[in-house]
Amino acid sequence: MTPLERYESLVDDPEAFRAACDRPLPSVVRVNTIKATVERVRAALDDEGIAHEPTDWHPGVLRLPEASPGRNWPHAHGWIHGQEEVSNLPALLLDPQPGDVVWDACAAPGSKTTQLAALMDDAGLLVGNDNNLGRLSALRHNAERLGVTNLVVTNRDARNFSLKPFGSDGDDPARIDAFDRVLVDAPCSCEGTIRKNPDAFDTWSLDHVHSVAGVQKGILRRAVQATRPGGVVVYSTCTFAPEENEAVLDYVLDAEDCRLVDVDAPLDGVPGVTEWAGEQFDPSVEKALRIYPHHNDTGGFFCAKVEVGG
């Protein structure tokens, strides 16, 4: 059984699902509102003769017919950033506000981190963390090109992330005791990226799915612990595996004081599954969102919104 066949029982149209996964992914860019408006970017693309059209769900997410959207001066100047269409969703669901204290727990290479900064109007504090030191260079490069100034970069295992370096154990009245919002775009088996990474299944194994699920549980649990009461955590992956999605939510709902809230998404999706491979999950995981490639002509994705108790 191939990875895609494994999930056919979860989709409404297996044939359309497989066909969409076999097609190349459309080229998409996000307008970086730290440096330019949507209108200014579209005028610049028109002047350069670069065809584009806004997606029907967000004016600042543009589809380009060319395969390399980074080969133009608006990209070089940080006005736009290549970012897969559905990848724009987690930061929008988190909805950070200017002045918030926000943690991106798995930040590199920085597409969602820099999007968070733009949504915050580059104000407040954004902590972009990744445990892979080599990938942090890409995060720093993207932040610099896109004009982000409210970002602090850290290199730690998110499962053991400490607030101490931010003054949480001192007497400074400006110290950080908790985050207002946290994004956990977790490392995963990347099944949903098959359209842009045709070799994604070459090294796929069920053992890896189970292994990475353990890491995801630790990261999401720490994210909930590090968020203030009433704060929000968005959990997302680019995989179809319930072991990495609903099972992770089920574990954290049982371990921490938090609850799932409805996801008001502008893209078509289906609810999370409450049963898989003989395992029952908390009924509230239905509030999560599964996005399949054939529903929006995007990659595959999973998103859930967690509200911390208190």
Q: Which residues are catalytic?
A: 238
| CA-closest candidate to residue 289, choices 58, 9, 93, 85 | 93
- Whole-angstrom distance, CA of residue 113 vs CA of residue 105: 10
Interior angle at CA 308, CA 173 and CA 148, nearest 5: 60
Q: In sequence order, which ranges of 106-205 are alpha helices (DSSP H)?
A: 111-119, 133-145
Cis bond upstream, residue 24 (ω within 30): no
Interior angle at CA 299, CA 193 and CA 116, nearest 5: 95
| CA-closest candidate to residue 219, choices 273, 167, 182 | 182
Question: Residue 103 is inside which H or E element, if any?
Answer: strand 101-104
- Whole-angstrom distance, CA of residue 122 vs CA of residue 116: 8
Q: Mention every residue, 6+ apart, whose C-beta is less than 8 A from residue 221.
A: 159, 251, 252, 255, 256
What values do phi and psi take at 17, rounded to 5?
A: -60, -50
